[in-house]
Structure 1
Amino acid sequence: MFPLIGQPALKDLLGPQTSDAAISQWFGVIIATFLVGAASGGVLFGWLGDKMGRVRAMGLSIFTYAIFTGLCGFAHHAEQITALRFIASLGMGGEWSLGVALVNEVWSAKSRAVTAGLIGAAANVGYLIVGFLSMALLGFITSAQHGLSAIGLSQATVHYLTDHSAWRLLMISGALPALLNFLILLFVPESEKWKAEHARGATAHWARLDLLGVLYGSVAALVIIWAWSPMGADKVNIYGAIAITVVGLGVALIGYLHPVRKYMHRAEAAGTLQSGRGAVLIKLMLFGAVLSSVALLGTWGSTQWAPKWVADQLAPHTKNAKEWTQIWLSIGACVGTMIAAIAAGRYGRRITYAVLCATSIAGTLLLYLANDTYGPFFLFCIFLAGTVTASFYGFFPLYLPELLPTAVRATGQGFAYNFGRIIAAVGGLQTANLMKLFGGSFPKAASCMAGIYIIGIVIVWFGPETKGQPLPE
């Protein structure tokens, strides 16, 4: 939701006198904090899923994500919405890692590619719904005000919920997915593969004390965000921020890996994991984290800023411009995730990832360098950019589960996918700095960020090709 409601929300919270540059900086900080929370939640809830089962942990993650998203609608300061979105994102990170593990373990091997594409497409259907919901609220704010008054709310409360493009009402609506928990706990079956691991004692090697590593990693990542934020700008110069970033990333990496490393040490000692296998799995997790970092940094440092670019610079006075931008971005993403997963299933994982990186560079440059007005050609370009840059989110649900065995799949792929969010958070903060470097030009800054995909084209060939292989046990 935040790419759509971030602008009016921050103007409301920071005051109308706040400069556009300050709003852009806060926008980047809030997105970065959200990504850090998702990284922490991927490991935390992945740990819960590997220890207590996929379904119960997934229900808890969705509840956390939904409730704290809804509470954002009652924030009074930018710091409050930052903190609430951090907690909400813990659930989002866990939801992805648990859902992907569960689906891959329940569905047959022959349909894994299509299923992975559907997972990625379904996530972007959510973005699509938010775009239409935002337009509906903007189009029916007056009707909503009458409706809220009719149920007995005071005029002050009604305006509190519906002023500033109704951003509070839209955030409160984010609590609705909490109702899914009843259906999940009643009807979603637990993974038989996890049950088998539990029966042989493999899940007993997870220890609660190991989660302190996730806490240390989260704190280190948040300190990095603070160093680049408006709060830290007056206290740390750019060289200090760079030093904090380097050290912080190292601490975060060690902290997030700590629960898995300790688990593998115990499992090897107990004989439930082959001796030396743990080191191999750690390398695979780090490899997956690099692949995810490339895709996530490209998305969150570039294309996810497009609705704000449209609202601020390209079409600030055009009704529903940012909503249509997100809608066409999401439609392209739904298409791209399906194409990527099916292509990876047919042609192989490594060549598909390399092609996705190359087309993402082309799609991003076309969007930002070939458009200076809002219109049909812009919407066509945003559709193409969404198709190629979001295609990775159909690829990862297929490839990452194939790298890791059942006993550590949720935690391991939670780390591999979500640690990429830490890199994306740090890199995404540089978008605002790049804009300053280019005299406020967002298209030039976003085009520079697209260069990250070059790393992906090279690095993917150092990983295993898993086409045609069963999930490892």
Structure 2
Amino acid sequence: MESIKVAQDMEGVSSKAWWREVTRKEWNALGAGFFGFALDAFDVMVYAFALTTILKEWGLTPVEAGFLATVTLFSSAVGGIGAGAVADKLGRRKGIMVTIFLFTIFTGLSGLTQSLVQLAIARTILGLGMGGQWTAGVLLVSETWSAKHRGKAIGIMQSGWAFGYVMAAVAAMFVLPVWGWRALFIIGVIPGIILLLWITFAVEETEMWEQTRHLKKDASMGFSQIFRPDLLRYTVVITLASTFLMFAYWGLFTWLPGYLSTPVDKGGAGLSILKSSSFMIPTMLGAWVGYVTYGFFADRFGRRPVFASYLVVAAVLVYFYGSVRDLNTILLMGPFVGLFGSGAFSGFGAICSESFPTRARGIGTGFTYNVGRMISAVSPMVIGYFAGIYGMGSALGLTSLSYILAGATIFLIPESKGRELE
């Protein structure tokens, strides 16, 4: 009896202290993915917070403002696909460094632009790095961490987006009213350079890539392999799920700060820019919880059911959120919209990594995730168009259907929980 009790106690300690099984190499890889994605979010979302100010200063229409977000998303899709190929060719570590460099430099340059065309060019090149960051980060983390904890690791990495979003909101609260939107873009350069230096000295290349790098010389291992019969099903289904989820996400979260700061008579919540930024902080804290908890639930219950559950709840919440005008209700619902509307993104990293073999993991992950982003790039413009007709709140409600479709699509591929990467 005593031995049984000791065994049970040891099992309990082991289950509670999963992080004790993680090596320094794994933590460093996760740190690179987390902080890289956090800076990615910061550099992207400062535009969302500056959107209303830029719109007024330059006299832009909602469609023109949405166009700037759309070109960034479209180019990010190209960057994401390219980063997968770069990561397969040069390594996961170099892939993540290239993407950080791109979006850091061109976010700073965005603050120096003088016209819509100049800003569109800067945001386009920024998008190449933005899209590539997720692809390279997922490859680095998924190939470094064990199958037992892969879902958790990718969930934590994905939560870097919420962390960066909160930092963007805090910066908007203090920088935007005093120094304007240009300073908001420029301040992101310094942490990007610091992160690049840290990755250079602290992060190692994955052993899995090192052991299979010779396969990249084989012409049969090129881009077309993800469209061959053994991988085509995964390529098509994950691309569709990515498209539906990103259409919903970018349509909702690109315009959410604008919805909060839009006057009530135009379908918004009627908050000041300062107050709308403060309202976004609890929303993104909820998103952080969603990203992290998804990984734990997915490791326990499976990739598909958790993915679908998050998105069904998100669809219901967003539908009602867009029609609410009571500020207390908006503040209360915000964290839950963030949790369920964002958390399912943690699923893509594990699903992509476990669906494609090492020889095609970079290409497959980059293509499926980022072609979805490319197609969904029209979402900010579509939401902006309908906002001009029906009001911002009603336009945001259109994203609910897209959340539902994303959740349903993922059941067209097999469950991959616990699958070891070859």
- TM-score (structure 2 length as normaliser): 0.84
Paired residues of 2:83 and 2:95 also in contact (CA < 8 A): yes
Amino acid at match of 1:352: V
Q: Are residues 1:453 and 2:394 paired?
A: no
How far 1:206 sits from its partner (Å)?
Answer: 6.7
Q: Are residues 1:422 and 2:374 paired?
A: yes
Separation in structure 2 between the aligned mates of residue 315 and residue 468 of structure 1, nearest angstrom: 44
Paired residues of 2:62 and 2:385 also in contact (CA < 8 A): no
1:42-61: per-residue Cα shift (whole Å, max 9, x none)? 11121111001111121111
2:181 to 161, 167, 172: 167
How far 1:346 sits from its partner (Å)?
Answer: 1.1
Q: Are residues 1:3 and 2:41 paired?
A: no
Q: How does 1:23-102 map to 2 (within 5 A)?
A: 23-102=61-140
Paired residues of 1:38 and 1:89 also in contact (CA < 8 A): yes
1:122-156: per-residue Cα shift (whole Å, max 9, x none)? 121000111111112246x2xxxxxxxxxxxxxxx
How far 1:377 sits from its partner (Å)?
Answer: 2.1
Paired residues of 1:51 and 1:204 also in contact (CA < 8 A): no
Q: How does 1:12-31 map to 2 (within 5 A)?
A: 12=57, 14=58, 18=59, 22-31=60-69
Q: Which blocks of at least 5 consecutive residues in structure 2 are unaligned?
A: 1-45
Task: Check 1:427–1:94 CA distance in 2 against 1; reply closer, same or farther (3 A cut).
Answer: same
Paired residues of 2:255 and 2:380 also in contact (CA < 8 A): no
Q: Are residues 1:411 and 2:363 paired?
A: yes
Task: Check 1:66–1:204 CA distance in 2 against 1; reply closer, same or farther (3 A cut).
Answer: same
| 1:234 paired residue number | none
Task: Check 1:435–1:138 CA distance in 2 against 1; reply closer, same or farther (3 A cut).
Answer: closer
Separation in structure 1 between the aligned mates of residue 366 and residue 261 of structure 2, nearest angstrom: 34
| 1:348 paired residue number | 302
Amino acid at match of 1:99: G
The number of residue pairs the alignment matches comes to: 372
Deviating 4+ runs (over 6 angstroms): none
Separation in structure 1 between the aligned mates of residue 249 and residue 325 of structure 2, nearest angstrom: 21
1:192 to 207, 211, 227: 207
Tell me the percent identity: 27
Amino acid at match of 2:209: W
2:197 to 170, 182, 191: 182
1:257-303: per-residue Cα shift (whole Å, max 9, x none)? x9611xx39xxxxxxxxxxx933223312211111111111111123
| 1:386 paired residue number | 338
How far 1:32 sits from its partner (Å)?
Answer: 0.9
1:397 to 339, 342, 349: 349
1:226-279: per-residue Cα shift (whole Å, max 9, x none)? xxxxxxxxxxxxxxxxxxxxxxxxxxxxxxxx9611xx39xxxxxxxxxxx933
How far 1:174 sits from its partner (Å)?
Answer: 2.1
Separation in structure 1 between the aligned mates of residue 188 and residue 139 of structure 2, nearest angstrom: 24
How far 1:380 sits from its partner (Å)?
Answer: 1.4
| 2:41 paired residue number | none
How far 1:316 sits from its partner (Å)?
Answer: 4.5
Separation in structure 2 between the aligned mates of residue 205 and residue 82 of structure 1, nearest angstrom: 39
Separation in structure 1 between the aligned mates of residue 373 and residue 236 of structure 2, nearest angstrom: 13
How far 1:170 sits from its partner (Å)?
Answer: 0.8
Separation in structure 2 between the aligned mates of residue 390 and residue 334 of structure 1, nearest angstrom: 8
Q: Are residues 1:122 and 2:172 paired?
A: no
Separation in structure 1 between the aligned mates of residue 66 and residue 228 of structure 2, nearest angstrom: 37
| 1:112 paired residue number | 150
1:372 to 325, 336, 339: 325
How far 1:432 sits from its partner (Å)?
Answer: 2.1
Separation in structure 1 between the aligned mates of residue 68 and residue 252 of structure 2, nearest angstrom: 15
Amino acid at match of 2:204: P
Separation in structure 1 between the aligned mates of residue 145 and residue 410 of structure 2, nearest angstrom: 26
How far 1:315 sits from its partner (Å)?
Answer: 5.0
| 2:13 paired residue number | none
Separation in structure 2 between the aligned mates of residue 335 and residue 444 of structure 1, nearest angstrom: 27
Paired residues of 2:243 and 2:376 also in contact (CA < 8 A): yes
Q: How does 1:212-227 map to 2 (within 5 A)?
A: none
How far 1:318 sits from its partner (Å)?
Answer: 3.1
How far 1:319 sits from its partner (Å)?
Answer: 5.6
Separation in structure 2 between the aligned mates of residue 302 and residue 138 of structure 1, nearest angstrom: 22
Q: How does 1:433-452 map to 2 (within 5 A)?
A: 433-438=385-390, 441-452=391-402
Paired residues of 1:45 and 1:57 also in contact (CA < 8 A): yes
Task: Check 1:35–1:205 CA distance in 2 against 1; reply closer, same or farther (3 A cut).
Answer: farther
Separation in structure 2 between the aligned mates of residue 318 and residue 435 of structure 1, nearest angstrom: 19
1:353-400: per-residue Cα shift (whole Å, max 9, x none)? 22122111111012112x214x33211111111111101222222222
Paired residues of 1:337 and 1:392 also in contact (CA < 8 A): yes
Separation in structure 2 between the aligned mates of residue 175 and residue 395 of structure 1, nearest angstrom: 30
Paired residues of 1:309 and 1:442 also in contact (CA < 8 A): yes
Separation in structure 2 between the aligned mates of residue 38 and residue 138 of structure 1, nearest angstrom: 25
1:19-49: per-residue Cα shift (whole Å, max 9, x none)? xxx4311121111111111100011121111
1:322-381: per-residue Cα shift (whole Å, max 9, x none)? 211321221111011112222121111111122122111111012112x214x3321111
2:287 to 314, 330, 333: 333
| SS of corresponding position for 1:390 | helix
Paired residues of 2:111 and 2:184 also in contact (CA < 8 A): yes
| 2:215 paired residue number | 202
Paired residues of 1:113 and 1:344 also in contact (CA < 8 A): yes
Separation in structure 2 between the aligned mates of residue 94 and residue 88 of structure 1, nearest angstrom: 10
